[in-house]
Every structure is written in C-alpha cells, then in structure tokens.
Copies of this chain bind each other. A is one copy, B any other.
C-alpha cells in the first residue's frame, strides 16, 4: 500500500520502519526533518509538508499529545484540508477521548474517514513489531487499513465502530498497568523499611500468584532502579493519566486511584523527574518513606 506517516518519535520511527519492511510505500513527515531523513535510506519518501503526505488518500499519525495532534489536523495546511474526500486518517497516538470524537466528527464532515488505533507497547515492542493495536472505526475504513495495522504489531484488536472508544480503552488499559506499578512501589517501600527483601517478595508473589510479565518487567526496573533511559517517560505518563481522568469525568466515573497516581506523577515531574521512566513512582513512594532514592 501507499500511505503517509506523520510523527517519527521514539515510537513512530520504528513503526514506520516496520511498515517499510512489510513492503508498504511511505511518504513520511516530521516537524524535525532530520528524523524523517533517517528513514529515507530505508525507502521512505520524505515530505516537505503535511499536504504531501495526504496525496495517496491515507495518512497515519503518531504524535505525542493532543496539542500536536490538533495542530497537525486542524492548522492551516493540515491534514483535514489536505486529505481528499474519501480519504482516511489513522491515528495511532494516545489522545483524549474528546479529541478523538472531535477528529471523527471533523473528518466525517469532510467526507473523510477516521480510525483511532492507539497502540500498547514501549519502544522496544515497536521495533520488534510486537505492539498490540486497539482499533475502532467504521468497518469499511478498518478493512482498508488492516494490512498497515497488522504490519506494526503482534496483535490487532478491533473493538467497534466508535473511534473515541479506542481512546478510552487505551487509557483504561494504561491505568491498569500504572496502578500495578504504584502498588508495587508502595509495597516495596514497606518491605524495605521492614528489612524484607523486595526481590524475594516479587519472585514469590509473581511466581505463585500473578504470573504476569507486567509485574515481572516493572518489578525488575524498580528493583534495579533503572529508570533511565525511560521506556515511557513520567511526563507522558502524567499526560495519559490526565487524559484518563478527563475521560472519566466526562463519562461520570470517579477513579480515585487514578487521581492519587496523577498527584504522584505530578510530584515527580515538579521535582525534575519528568524525563525518567514512569515506574519511578516507586522512587516517589520510597522517598515518602524516608528512603533514599
């Protein structure tokens, strides 16, 4: 297939690379052009502006937050205006439920289609084409972009016709993960202050009960305090929990654990830890207990 790809950050670049490897032809665009050039040697065509990535009528975006996604679609010269009627916009970004609904409405009003397909996985999963893609949108549009969605991940899950639901789903899924990280962090602080080895605790609790790679992976990072380089930065984690709380407020569902985690992530960011891994929630829990980081 021929398609455009916008946003070549930590996640976008390996995703685009995997699309190229799978034989698709990409026109790529990134605000910082050098990141686009890096893909040229792998067969990508580099666009000079957003209009050029829309010429084939199918454009994918992987942007860091609502602001970037809004700009890229709604600003003059943006995707909304450049995409031809009948065109399709596939958004991989983790954006708010509200923006997702707004994008969907705007594209529909132009006779275009919109698919929200946020991905689960950290940069290493993106490189290995091992992401899990959670997609929602009209069946016809999903059918059209399916080969692209399948090329970037190990699993594609279609959850229905409503793009905004993919956003809520992704944010709720991330919440389960960060809630497990927070709980580990609090438990480890107690154990350390009680002179009990957290590594033994994790091995037993995960080995005998949870048997979960999520706990294993994050537990390892926390035990080794290897928060850098970040797989997922605390400031992005804060953004995701903020978006979750906004979705939850709009839906009318209080999520007190998410509120608590938000405050801890915010404290981390306020104290200069925004760039380290969000599992440093455990470091914040330890410091509250008077433990050195």
Are B183's CB and A175's CB within 8 A?
yes
A200 touches B159 (CB 8 A): yes
Residues of B within 8 A of A215 (CB): 212
Check: A277 CB closer than 8 A to any chain B CB: no
Does any Cβ of B come within 8 Å of A193's Cβ?
yes
Within 8 A of B (CB), among A188-213: 189-196, 200-201, 204-205, 208-213
A52 contacts B by Cβ under 8 Å: no
* Residues B263 and A193 in contact, CB atoms below 8 Å apart: no
Which of these binds chain B: A22-30, A40-48, A221-229, A252-260?
Answer: A252-260
| Bound CA–CA A288/B242 (angstroms) | 18
B194, A251: Cβ atoms under 8 Å? yes
Write out the residue numbers on chain B whose beta carbons fall within 8 Å of the beta carbon of A247: 190, 194
In the complex the two chains form, is A214's CB within 8 Å of B210's CB? yes
Cα-based distance from A165 to B210 in the complex (angstroms): 21
> A160 contacts which chain B residues (CB < 8 A)?
196
- The docked-state distance in angstroms from the alpha carbon of A186 to that of B261 is 13
- Looking at the assembled complex, report how far the CB atom of A132 sits from the nearest CB atom of chain B, in whole angstroms: 5
Q: Which of A3-11, A142-150, A265-273 participates in binding chain B?
A: A265-273
Task: Tell me the bound Cα distance from A272 to B239 in angstroms.
Answer: 29
A211 to B209, CA, bound (A): 11
Question: In the complex, A97 Cα to B195 Cα: how many Å?
Answer: 13
Residue ID in chain B nearest A190 by CB atoms = B253
Copies of this chain assembled into the complex: 4
Of A84-92, A105-113, A166-174, which stretch is located at the interface?
Answer: A166-174
Q: Is A141 an interface residue (CB 8 A)?
A: no
Give Cα A207–Cα B186 distance, bound, in whole angstroms.
26
Q: Which residue of B lies closest to A204 (CB)?
A: B157
Q: Which residues of B contact A182 (CB under 8 A)?
A: 179, 257
* Neighbour of A252 across the interface among B169, B183, B251, B270, CB < 8 A: B270
CA distance A125 to B192 in the complex (A): 30
Residues of B near A168 (CB, < 8 A) are 190-191, 194, 196
Closest B-chain residue to A179, C-beta based? B183
**Cα–Cα distance between A109 and B247 once the two chains are bound (Å):** 34
A172 to B271, alpha carbons, bound, how many Å?
21
Interface pair A187/B175, CB less than 8 Å apart: yes
Among candidates B120, B193, B252, B256, residue contacting A269 with C-beta atoms closer than 8 Å: B252
Task: Name the one of B172, B251, B262, B289 contacting A267, with C-beta atoms under 8 angstroms.
Answer: B289
The yes or no answer to A152 lying at the interface (CB within 8 A) is no
CB of A180 within 8 Å of the partner chain = yes
Q: Is there contact, CB below 8 Å, between A256 and B252?
A: no
Contact partners of A68 in chain B: CB under 8 A: none
Q: Which residues of B contact A262 (CB under 8 A)?
A: 249, 259
Q: CB distance A186 to B252 under 8 Å?
A: no
7 cross-chain CB contacts under 8 A = A157-B204, A159-B204, A172-B190, A179-B182, A257-B257, A267-B288, A270-B288
